[in-house]
Structure formats: structure tokens, C-alpha cells
Structure 1
Amino acid sequence: MSVSGLCEVCQRPAVDHTCDRCGNLVCDRHFDARREICSECVTQIEGGDPADPTGTGDDMPDGVDIYRF
């Protein structure tokens, strides 16, 4: 399905999915393909943080393991 807009979780423009449960437009990072629902709905069902779908709890951006100054 082709959708357009911003991810309703992280506000990124790369929206590829619509949640079957609540209708949110979400990016790949915030979509559970197995259940076809967004990370916010997964959080409501299972608990956790919708902004951290990987459950790592780190505040680092994607692909960054070490900060160097």
C-alpha cells in the first residue's frame, strides 16, 4: 500500500505502513510486520516504550555505537 505523510511516532517522512489496529501511519522502524501493527499498539498490548521498539533503552541514534569528541 502506498501511504504518504510523517511517521506518527518519530515524525520521519519515510512512512511505509498503516497500523491495522489504530490506523497510524508509521515507518519501518515503528511497524511490527508479523502482527501488522505499530509499535504504540504493541506497547499497549505488551508494555514497553513505543519510541524504543528494539527495547535497548539507549539514547544513541541509529547506527551509532560510540560517541567521540
Structure 2
Amino acid sequence: MSVTGVCQVCERREAEYACHRCGAAVCSVHFDTEQGVCVHCADPEGREDVFAEGDDGEVPEFR
């Protein structure tokens, strides 16, 4: 299956994966390769801050 477009989580990066559970097209930052699902499906309770990454995929420094 070919994935095209932007990530449905961050709406910034190019989508590279499709979630095996919900079908969302997501970038490598927002895809759990071990489980084969997007970050929302990997953590349905919403305990993780999936938007903590900077625009370049790095965690921003807080000063």
C-alpha cells in the first residue's frame, strides 16, 4: 500500500506509514514501528504528548 500526503497527526511532515489499526497516514515520528500503529492508537489513553517534537522532529529545549 502506497502512502501519500502529509501526516494526519502533525500535518507537517510527509506521511510514510499507514496505521494498521485506524488507517491514518502518518510520518515516521508519529508511527510506532514495533506495534505498526500511529501514536494515537499506540496510546489511546492520551498519556503521551504527541506534539512535543519540534518542526524538525527533535524535542525542543525549554529554557
The answer to whether the Cα contact below 8 Å between 1:39 and 1:50 also exists between their aligned partners in 2 is no
Give % identity. 35
Q: Decide whether aligned partners of structure 1 residues 50 and 65 sit closer, same or farther in structure 2, where only a CA change above 3 A counts.
A: closer
Structure 1 segments of 4 or more deviating over 4 A?
Answer: none
Who is 2:17 aligned against? 17
Q: Decide whether aligned partners of structure 1 residues 60 and 15 sit closer, same or farther in structure 2, where only a CA change above 3 A counts.
A: closer
Who is 2:39 aligned against? 39
- C-alpha distance after superposition, 1:28-61 (max 9, x if no partner): 00000000000000111x6413524xxxxxx562
Distance across 2 between alignment mates of 1:43 and 1:22: 13
Q: Decide whether aligned partners of structure 1 residues 18 and 64 sit closer, same or farther in structure 2, where only a CA change above 3 A counts.
A: same
* RMSD over aligned Cα atoms: 2.4
Structure that is richer in helix per residue: 1
Normalising by structure 1, we get a TM-score of 0.68
Displacement, 1:2?
A: 2.9
Q: Decide whether aligned partners of structure 1 residues 30 and 3 sit closer, same or farther in structure 2, where only a CA change above 3 A counts.
A: same
Question: What residue identity is the alignment partner of 2:14?
Answer: A
Q: Which has the larger radius of gyration?
A: 1
Distance across 2 between alignment mates of 1:30 and 1:60: 10
